[in-house]
Amino acid sequence: MIEFIQKGGPVMVPLLVCSFLAVAFIAERSLFWWQQKRRFSSKNLDQFLEHLRHGRLKEMLKQGEESPDSVVKVLTASLGHGERVLHDALGLEVDRAVEMTQRGLRAIDTVITLSPLLGIFGTVTGIIQSFDLLGQTSIADPQAVSVGIAQALITTAAGLAIAMPSIIAYNFFLSQTERFAFRLEKYAYEFEILYAQYQQKKHGEP
């Protein structure tokens, strides 16, 4: 492996940095979504809304404080801003939660874009090195020329090898974010409607 990196030339250093960053952010996001899936419970969420539907606000708030589910936490946190600004509070808490799911995606996207470019840069420098050696001697040394060609091929392969799995991971995380945002907005709308109905019953409005 070390010999392979050495043959790739100096461009392999930033490519290695890109690979480490990709692995780190992909591992962090994978753990994040695994925890989200583990904590989410449709039964728990339905029970939370059922408390509100029947006017059991204390039970609902207690469950919201104890629940590890992100959706329940967002709905509960929105009430902390006050009843009169519930709509805006829900929007704020939803945006915060969605922003948390997007953490690290820009870094992965940067790796996806930068890695192939670094690979191409290594290809160009490798070819330049080969032609430079050809121009310096009247009789070409195949072994010397092959060093530049090897550098060109290795950096291109390394850049693509980093970018391809990163693209798969990025698209997966992006789809998870979109699904989470859709689910969160759906329950936020339902929660707002149920809370408005609760307020009407509380104040005896028809």
Q: Which helix (H) or strand (E) holds 16?
A: helix 12-39
5-32 confidence digits (pLDDT tens): 777 778 889 999 999 999 999 999 999 9
Copy the structure tokens of residue 88.
């805006």
Q: Which helix (H) or strand (E) holds 50?
A: helix 42-53
Residue with the bigger pLDDT between 3 and 55: it is: 55
> In sequence order, which ranges of 82-141 are alpha helices (DSSP H)?
86-101, 105-136
Distance CA 167, CA 171 (A): 6
Q: Name the band, by pLDDT with cuts 50, 70 and 90, for residue 162.
A: very high
Please name the residues in contact with 197: beta carbons below 8 A apart, sequence gap of 6 or more: 53
* Res. 148: pLDDT tops 80: no
Say what percent of the chain tops pLDDT 90.
50
**Cβ distance 104 to 22 under 8 Å?**
no
Phi-psi region of 132 (alpha: psi -120 to 50; beta: other; left: phi over 0): alpha
pLDDT value of position 201: 78
28-47 confidence digits (pLDDT tens): 999 999 999 988 888 888 89
163-179 confidence digits (pLDDT tens): 999 999 999 999 999 99
Averaged confidence pLDDT in the chain: 87
Phi, psi of 67 (to 5 degrees): -75, 140
- Cα torsion 97, 100, 101, 102 to 10°: value is 120
Helices 105-136 and 12-39 pack at an angle, to 10 degrees, of 160
Could you give the C-alpha distances from 110 to 23, 46, 83, 107, 117, in angstroms and in order? 13, 39, 41, 5, 11
Distance CA 29, CA 174 (A): 11
Count the helix, strand and coil residues of the chain and give each as a percent rounded to the nearest 5: 90, 0, 10
97-107 confidence digits (pLDDT tens): 999 999 999 99
